[in-house]
Amino acid sequence: MNKKIMSAMNTQVNREFYAAYLYLALSAYYSSINLDGFAKWMRKQADEEIAHAMKFYNFIFERGGVVTLEAIEKPKLKLKGILQPFEAALDHEKKVTAWIHEIADIIYAEKDYASYSLIQWFIDEQVEEENNTSGICEKIKMIGDDKVALFMLNKELSKRD
């Protein structure tokens, strides 16, 4: 496996595990304010981030590379309210999109054709991630201080599989 690509993918493995920690922290926050549907959505997102890390992890080995795991940084969050945690999630997803694009740039520059489909999957996934998170942010903004609407959104988010 190309060393530049392997290094970039190893870095992304760590970033994806960090994202899982971030989503678990957001889940814990929502649980602490009794929004269990919000908490469940964030826990499911944490699971998805772990799956993303493993997708890179497995690919590195499939290509004959070596995985190097680094320490996972503790999320630095000061959470308040209902909207701010989802905005933090959206901000993070935008960073992930930029990182995925950086990896794509390396793959394209190195002409590693075997990595094209993997990175395209992640590019498509990031469109979905940003869209979903942004959509929930917009719903929270529309709700404002309406407790009934908040309860309804909480119930909707609890249905995430």
Domain ranges for the chain, please list them: 3-158
pLDDT of residue 125: 98
Q: What pLDDT sits at residue 136?
A: 98
Residue-level pLDDT at 12: 98
In this prediction the pTM is 0.95
Q: By CB neighbour count within 10 A (0-12 exposed, 13-18 middle, 19+ buried), where does 110 fall?
A: middle
| Token pair for 66 | 């070596």
Residues of the chain with pLDDT under 50: none
In this structure, which topology does domain 3-158 adopt according to CATH?
Answer: Ferritin (1.20.1260)
